[in-house]
Amino acid sequence: MNTFGHLFTLTTAGESHGEALTAIVDGMPAGIRIDRDELALQMARRAPGTGIGSTRREPDRVRLLSGLRDDVTIGTPIALLIENSDVRPGDYSHLKHTFRPSHADYTYQAKYGIRAVEGGGRASARETALRVAAGALAMQALAKRGVSVHAYTSQIGRVSMPGGYEGVDYDAIYTNAVYCPDADAADRMIAEIESARAAGDTLGGIVNCIIDGLPAGIGEPVYDKLQAMLASAMMSINAAHGFEYGMGFAGAAMRGSEALDKWTTDDCGRLRTVTNHSGGIQGGISNGMPVTMRVAFKPVATLMRPVESVNLHGESVTIEPHGRHDCCVVPRAVAVVRAMAAITTLDAILMAGKW
Amino acid sequence: MNTFGHLFTLTTAGESHGEALTAIVDGMPAGIRIDRDELALQMARRAPGTGIGSTRREPDRVRLLSGLRDDVTIGTPIALLIENSDVRPGDYSHLKHTFRPSHADYTYQAKYGIRAVEGGGRASARETALRVAAGALAMQALAKRGVSVHAYTSQIGRVSMPGGYEGVDYDAIYTNAVYCPDADAADRMIAEIESARAAGDTLGGIVNCIIDGLPAGIGEPVYDKLQAMLASAMMSINAAHGFEYGMGFAGAAMRGSEALDKWTTDDCGRLRTVTNHSGGIQGGISNGMPVTMRVAFKPVATLMRPVESVNLHGESVTIEPHGRHDCCVVPRAVAVVRAMAAITTLDAILMAGKW
Amino acid sequence: MNTFGHLFTLTTAGESHGEALTAIVDGMPAGIRIDRDELALQMARRAPGTGIGSTRREPDRVRLLSGLRDDVTIGTPIALLIENSDVRPGDYSHLKHTFRPSHADYTYQAKYGIRAVEGGGRASARETALRVAAGALAMQALAKRGVSVHAYTSQIGRVSMPGGYEGVDYDAIYTNAVYCPDADAADRMIAEIESARAAGDTLGGIVNCIIDGLPAGIGEPVYDKLQAMLASAMMSINAAHGFEYGMGFAGAAMRGSEALDKWTTDDCGRLRTVTNHSGGIQGGISNGMPVTMRVAFKPVATLMRPVESVNLHGESVTIEPHGRHDCCVVPRAVAVVRAMAAITTLDAILMAGKW
Amino acid sequence: MNTFGHLFTLTTAGESHGEALTAIVDGMPAGIRIDRDELALQMARRAPGTGIGSTRREPDRVRLLSGLRDDVTIGTPIALLIENSDVRPGDYSHLKHTFRPSHADYTYQAKYGIRAVEGGGRASARETALRVAAGALAMQALAKRGVSVHAYTSQIGRVSMPGGYEGVDYDAIYTNAVYCPDADAADRMIAEIESARAAGDTLGGIVNCIIDGLPAGIGEPVYDKLQAMLASAMMSINAAHGFEYGMGFAGAAMRGSEALDKWTTDDCGRLRTVTNHSGGIQGGISNGMPVTMRVAFKPVATLMRPVESVNLHGESVTIEPHGRHDCCVVPRAVAVVRAMAAITTLDAILMAGKW
């Protein structure tokens, strides 16, 4: 399926090197004034050439074809169109009969019996440009309800940012090329990327995400738990290999007495917890604390050095590096994680009937 | 929502201490002979009192009310009924006005304005008995297509089983109380549980799961990627805090050159990969290799020692330990993880139109 | 699929002569006190033996297994169970190898390769007992919002009740055996049934339905228009062959100048229309006027006289009349139409986020 | 919602006078060669100015932006784009503060608190151009399986075409301006339209539709019965007020003995029925006979003479006729009914896992 969500939905179409990327965003609440500059800003943060270690530069201008009247949403679906302006189909002819390792070439062929070879076709992360656009719309709706979503790079390769979700300076995220709010860690991440690139190699990493301002009571209690919806959202992003929220995998090694989030009250007398091991969710439903999560990305599968592979006949071939490819997409994935979190959160609010 | 899946669906109802747990399993292929002993075996593996560190013993006999003719499925929905035979509502009266820490008491109250206090109501892991039953049905269908699902405990507290997904001896899983196929690790896990229990404390852990025999071409390519469906399935399980597949979070620290799964051919000339960092999935679609995943569980939130909390008025209260509670539910979660993997896999096969 | 609805859903299971009928009603708003007598009353109106021309009498007692606390809904799913107490499997052995004309015997066999022969199995109208129960719950929720649903017989065989949707005396509906609010028409309908029964023949008819009190703004504008959801609901009822709303098929022969619903204002200054050719819906969305519709039912397909048919081998056979069968199910269908309208209306209100 | 279907889905966006109409068709089987001329032909049959009594002429050129490789489908979603080339927003300024009778002006305002005034915005039948395009794709897939769909006008105003579904000459449908295969009836329909237009009035009518070649076993047995899916499809078309299949409303007046479809065998020894009162469906599942249905359309709600209405303040206003409007859209609706039947049929085949 190419649709995500229940009441706020994103349906996308488009291959990497096709005519255009198209999306339909449905369920957008009426009466939201869309800030097109803000939308463009989000798009720029995911754009190729962004940050460090990126390649193909393309403006990714999004046309909004419907659902607006004088830039205010009217409740009808919003169609998004990104024309592909930088398509060079010739680049990929050498892959026509080859299955690249750790790419989706073989699996698409197995599923459909046919595939778009160029640029990975539908499996390319080009598709995520539409998610960022839809997420930018969702964020603008969420802002009306006091909900904000932030994401940042917390690990690239073996370089991690110290500390947890608390005290992150959101304003510092976009002050460096890797979108890490810790300046020192950012410097080390950049060095890690430069080292990998020099070796013709690639890197993965981890993106952290925090949803602030979500009131208690959002999320479904059994299936489609808030964390399940978020996990589905994140694991649908290209190259994502892991999802955790709150204490996550580290929680497996904790004792119950360490992990309990004690109740207290804030200055307004509202319940909140002293710690947030629960990641803002209990029993699938938000508890009013920040919703915290991390998404792990594998290293980019296209190396800038020769790679062994097989062709359609199962014969060994060597793929020589062509063109230029990202060494590490984690900084660009920051915008995608943020967008998917925003889309999911708006959907969950609508499902709860609490818009 | 209380329904999981697209074409093979599980809809459940029932509170922990209500009259009964009820489920409707829809989309079961016709013509499958149901082995009721096998179903009972799966139920027993999740049953309270199973393994070590468990409490309330209840037979959990599942009645199959429809969808069968002489124990053969006829394509119509199968209703499952588990009457609650061991209900002691008196146990929970002290919690009527209290929100326990790290439980769903407060969030249900916030969402619905009312809640079933007894045993956590709908938030109780009692619901997972129905998942195990449905999973047992799914596994019997999958067996017809040569697909099998296995799960086992790989970590309890700080004790991990060494090694990865390869070479696991499925036959050894149920030879010890913690359902860990590594006998030495199992011994240490049991000691870990005994130590925690002696302290009135609780433990979490990690369950590994492997789907064998799944042909290439199963899974949706963008949203509802196979890993996204599995993540949603696993993160809907009580206490689950993390999901990863293939190389998972460890992949974030790998270089691309380490992570690539090189192609080779098996004895029958079929493509397979030398390593399986991809966890059997590329671009959301199965590639014919085993599908591998891990699910992290937080420690049990009910301690066997006094715990501070708040009441409905936000006033501090102390909850004294009542009754007996599981110290570690990870062994029981093995059956639930396995069941959810089976349910998801059958759904994905049906969605691919490849039944 | 065996689930109806989007946010308020009904999932059912059970064959005519199986152990039990089971349903799970999900999405019921929390805080509704359930009147069990009212539920029993609705069940009685659909029960076999009801009205005239009916057969098998069965109490159809519905157990509510979950989702309630002291008979107040708590937002969790409500499981419904009707144990089959009057099952006589022997009655149907003569049909094991036969496809009855205008029944679903052949189509189930074609779809599943296997079928429950007894009583039509899953294709039996027994399933509608669960719809009536779910509808009774929905009606109690709707009543909290001032919405009421009524249905009545407007035609049996060639006997029609005169007049349209206006001025129907709801209080008169249940004063006769055919549930027609026009006493004179009811008498003639009863005579029509007696005549058909004497001939061993059967009858169909038409049920009218009116939703009162629905505010403007409910319904989706393009797909899942309110009339599309209602049409899907009604055409899922056994033996239903036609659906129309507002002016319906008669509108095809009207001129635009006759069909326009002129605007006016009511005593409170609210907009309403002078006529209601639109049936309370414009562009898929309610306009605040009563929502009016009609559902046509074909005659019962089981005659009380010998019928020619074929067996599994395509050979001609004659089916002799067995047991006793309803001559006309239209009066019993009144409760089903009403229930499906209530279920759909509650779902549409929830989808509109206006609960 | 703006999505139709389950596995073969159509999601649409776009207001009548917005920048463009956009659709995403998902679930299209891979390996179908798309005939663009055939697509253009279907579009032409719905185009404004088609047949008699139509207005705004617009080419409605559909761009296919994705999902194809050398005009062969690759299993990925197909985005459709129709740029609006003939938009005159000035035409509608007089309606800004007015609710037209029997239009969706008021209901959109009630639902969203805001609306696109021009040309009815999202409520305009412009949206159906996308359905016809998607239907043309579906028909090309169905043709691969020997399934064909035909539709034609059977009634305009008070003029009906005699006869039933049998013996219709599909080749004669497009030989006249009203798309009625009966030449004599077509002449009388044209006269009826000319008469209504001369009076500044409008007409409705009925479209018949037949699905040939559908094998037995397609359709869901309880909810989403094949007739329920078709009813939902048809009742989602602008101005549709009634749906019936097989014997339809007429069946309500038939006796069971008349209505039974006796079994026989065809020349190949396959089961078929002598009559087809069941409309090719029994118990929600196709029986191998032609699936037959009728859809009633109300007369066009925009008259070419002054009409009384109210403004946003509830004050009476008179709407003078502006521009030119269709007197009868039934001939254009033929293409839409056909398309929706094709879309639904392909979806049902995929749901049955029988592609």
Element (H or E) spanning C22, and its range?
strand C20-26
d(CA D241, CA C36): 37
Chain C CB contacts of B21 below 8 Å: 66
**Closest among C91, C120, C142 to C239, alpha carbons compared:** C120
Residue A214 three-state SS: coil
Cβ-defined contact of B69 to C30 (cutoff 8 Å): no
**Closest among D10, D74, D73 to A123, alpha carbons compared:** D74
Chain A CB contacts of D120 below 8 Å: none
Who's near D61: CB < 8 A, 6+ residues apart? D40, D43, D82, D83
Chain C CB contacts of A353 below 8 Å: 7, 350, 353, 355
Q: Which residues of A250-264 are buried (b: 16+ CB within 10 A; e: fewer)?
A: bbbbbbbeebbbebe
Question: Which pLDDT does position C149 carry in this prediction?
Answer: 98
Say if residues C309 and C106 touch (Cβ distance below 8 Å). Answer: no
Question: Which pLDDT does position B316 carry in this prediction?
Answer: 87
Query: Is 90 exceeded by the pLDDT of residue C55?
Result: no
Cβ-defined contact of C26 to B1 (cutoff 8 Å): yes
Tell me how far apart the 2 most distant CA atoms of chain B are, in Å. Answer: 69
pLDDT digits (tens, 9 = 90+) for D19-69: 999 999 999 999 999 999 999 999 999 987 655 545 545 558 999 999 999
Say if residues C347 and C6 touch (Cβ distance below 8 Å). Answer: yes
pLDDT digits (tens, 9 = 90+) for A197-239: 999 999 999 999 999 999 999 999 999 999 999 999 999 999 9
Say if residues B307 and B100 touch (Cβ distance below 8 Å). Answer: yes
pLDDT digits (tens, 9 = 90+) for A151-192: 999 999 999 999 999 999 999 999 999 999 999 999 999 999
Q: Give the distance from residue D225's alpha carbon to the nearest chain A alpha carbon, in angstroms.
A: 22
Question: Which pLDDT does position B89 carry in this prediction?
Answer: 55
Residue A321 touches partner C, C-beta closer than 8 Å: no
Query: Is 70 exceeded by the pLDDT of residue D132?
Result: yes
Say if residues D338 and D202 touch (Cβ distance below 8 Å). Answer: no
Chain A CB contacts of B130 below 8 Å: none
Among the CATH numbers 3.80.10.10, 3.90.1150.10, 3.60.150.10, 3.90.10.10, which is that of A3-351?
A: 3.60.150.10
Query: Which stretch, B282-296, C108-122, D311-325, has highest mean pLDDT?
Result: B282-296
Least CB–CB distance from C314: residue in D122, D269, D287: D269
Say if residues B28 and B5 touch (Cβ distance below 8 Å). Answer: no
d(CA A140, CA A130): 16
Binned at pLDDT 50, 70 and 90, residue B345 comes out as very high
Number of helices (H) and strands (E) in chain C: give both, helices first: 7, 19
Token code pair at residue C63 = 């157990």
pLDDT digits (tens, 9 = 90+) for B303-328: 999 998 888 787 888 988 877 788 99
Binned at pLDDT 50, 70 and 90, residue A117 comes out as confident
Cβ-defined contact of B66 to C1 (cutoff 8 Å): no
Chain C CB contacts of B74 below 8 Å: 112, 114-116, 121-122
User: In this structure, which amino acid lies at residue C346?
Assistant: L
Cβ-defined contact of B350 to D350 (cutoff 8 Å): no
Residue B15 touches partner A, C-beta closer than 8 Å: no
Q: Which chain D residue is nearest to residue A123, measuring alpha carbons?
A: D76
CB atoms within 10 A of CB D158: 14
Question: Which pLDDT does position B57 carry in this prediction?
Answer: 56
Say if residues D80 and D133 touch (Cβ distance below 8 Å). Answer: yes
Higher pLDDT, D116 or B259: B259
Query: Is 60 exceeded by the pLDDT of residue D136?
Result: yes
Q: In this complex, which chains have at least 3 CB pairs below 8 Å with chain C? A: A, B, D
Residue A181 touches partner B, C-beta closer than 8 Å: no
The end-to-end CA distance of chain B, in Å, is 27
Cβ-defined contact of A351 to C7 (cutoff 8 Å): yes
Candidates B12, B158, B241, partner chain A, best to mutate (most A CBs within 10 A)? B241
Q: What is the full DSSP assignment across D297-340?
A: EPPPS--SS-EEEEETTS-EEEEPP-S---SB-HHHHHHHHHHH
**Closest among A201, A196, A212, A228 to A142, alpha carbons compared:** A212
Binned at pLDDT 50, 70 and 90, residue D95 comes out as confident
Q: Which chain B residue is nearest to residue A123, measuring alpha carbons?
A: B283
User: In this structure, which amino acid lies at residue B298?
Assistant: K
Binned at pLDDT 50, 70 and 90, residue D309 comes out as confident
Binned at pLDDT 50, 70 and 90, residue B124 comes out as very high
- DSSP letter assigned to residue B227: H
Q: In this complex, which chains have at least 3 CB pairs below 8 Å with chain A? A: B, C, D
Mean pLDDT along residues C143-158: 98
Question: Which pLDDT does position B117 carry in this prediction?
Answer: 82
d(CA C337, CA C231): 11
pLDDT digits (tens, 9 = 90+) for C68-109: 999 999 999 999 999 987 666 566 777 788 899 999 999 999
CB atoms within 10 A of CB A161: 22
Residue C347 touches partner B, C-beta closer than 8 Å: no
d(CA C258, CA D196): 12
Token code pair at residue B56 = 């309330």
Binned at pLDDT 50, 70 and 90, residue B341 comes out as very high
Query: Is 80 exceeded by the pLDDT of residue D234?
Result: yes
Who's near C27: CB < 8 A, 6+ residues apart? B1, C5, C7, C8, C9, C77, C347, C350
Question: Which pLDDT does position A59 carry in this prediction?
Answer: 58
Question: Which pLDDT does position C97 carry in this prediction?
Answer: 82
Instruction: Tell me how many degrees the CA angle B275-B277-B279 measures, rounded to the nearest 5.
Output: 105
Residue D353 touches partner B, C-beta closer than 8 Å: yes
Query: Is 90 exceeded by the pLDDT of residue A91?
Result: no
For chain C, give the percent of residues with pLDDT over 70: 95
Question: Which pLDDT does position C232 carry in this prediction?
Answer: 98
Residue A317 touches partner B, C-beta closer than 8 Å: no
Burial class of residue C320 (count of CB atoms within 10 Å of its CB; 0-12, 13-18, 19+): exposed
For chain D, give the percent of residues with pLDDT over 70: 95
For chain A, give the percent of residues with pLDDT over 70: 95
d(CA A25, CA B243): 28
Q: Which residue's entry shows tokens 């922990």?
A: B16
CA dihedral B313, B315, B321, B326 (to 10 degrees): 60
Least CB–CB distance from A350: residue in C221, C353, C355: C353
Rounded to the nearest integer, the mean pLDDT of chain B is 93
pLDDT digits (tens, 9 = 90+) for B175-192: 999 999 999 999 999 999
Query: Is 80 exceeded by the pLDDT of residue C179?
Result: yes
Mean pLDDT along residues A55-78: 87
Mean pLDDT along residues C149-176: 97
Higher pLDDT, A235 or C315: A235
Instruction: Enter the ipTM.
Output: 0.96
pLDDT digits (tens, 9 = 90+) for D319-330: 888 777 889 999
The end-to-end CA distance of chain A, in Å, is 27
Instruction: Among A72-76, B85-89, B278-282, D205-209, name the one with the lowest average pLDDT.
Output: B85-89
Residue C307 touches partner D, C-beta closer than 8 Å: yes
Per DSSP, what are the bridge partners of residue D78?
Answer: D25
- The residue ranges of every structural domain in chain D are 3-351
List, as ranges, residues 190-229 from B with C-beta within 8 Å of D.
221
User: In this structure, which amino acid lies at residue A198?
Assistant: A
Binned at pLDDT 50, 70 and 90, residue C120 comes out as confident
d(CA A268, CA D205): 64
Question: Which pLDDT does position C50 carry in this prediction?
Answer: 54
Q: Give the distance from residue C15's alpha carbon to the nearest chain B alpha carbon, in angstroms.
A: 6
Q: Name the region of C106 (left: φ>0; alpha: ψ -120 to 50; beta: rest).
A: alpha
